[in-house]
Amino acid sequence: MNLPKQAKSLQSLFWDVTFDSIDWQKHARFVIIRVVSRGNLQDWETLKAIYGKNKIKQEVVRARSLDPKTLAFLSVYFGIDKTSFRCCS
């Protein structure tokens, strides 16, 4: 997967793993959840550039846990009822 240049800006969110060893396809859910939970607006824009809205939506509804603030944001952003998320079922 070819990453946009701005993907390096996400490096600080992955302080606990070797950033260059992340498999962006295989670990998409891990990356997406980490960025939506801990990132800022610029990180969100970078995430959309990397994966696109449909892939992000697909992965966040399958997340096993999301903090309440992140869940509320994603629910409103994607127009999905909170009970449709795996973490709330």
Percent of the chain with pLDDT over 90: 80
How many Cα neighbours within 13 Å face the side chain of 28? 17
Q: Over the stretch 55-76, which tens digit does the pLDDT of each residue have? A: 999 999 999 999 999 999 999 9
pLDDT (0 to 100) of residue 6: 77
Crossing angle of helices 28-38 and 41-60, in 10° steps, is 130
Percent of the chain with pLDDT over 70: 97
pLDDT (0 to 100) of residue 57: 97
Q: Is the pLDDT confidence value at 11 over 70?
A: yes
Query: Structure pTM?
Result: 0.91
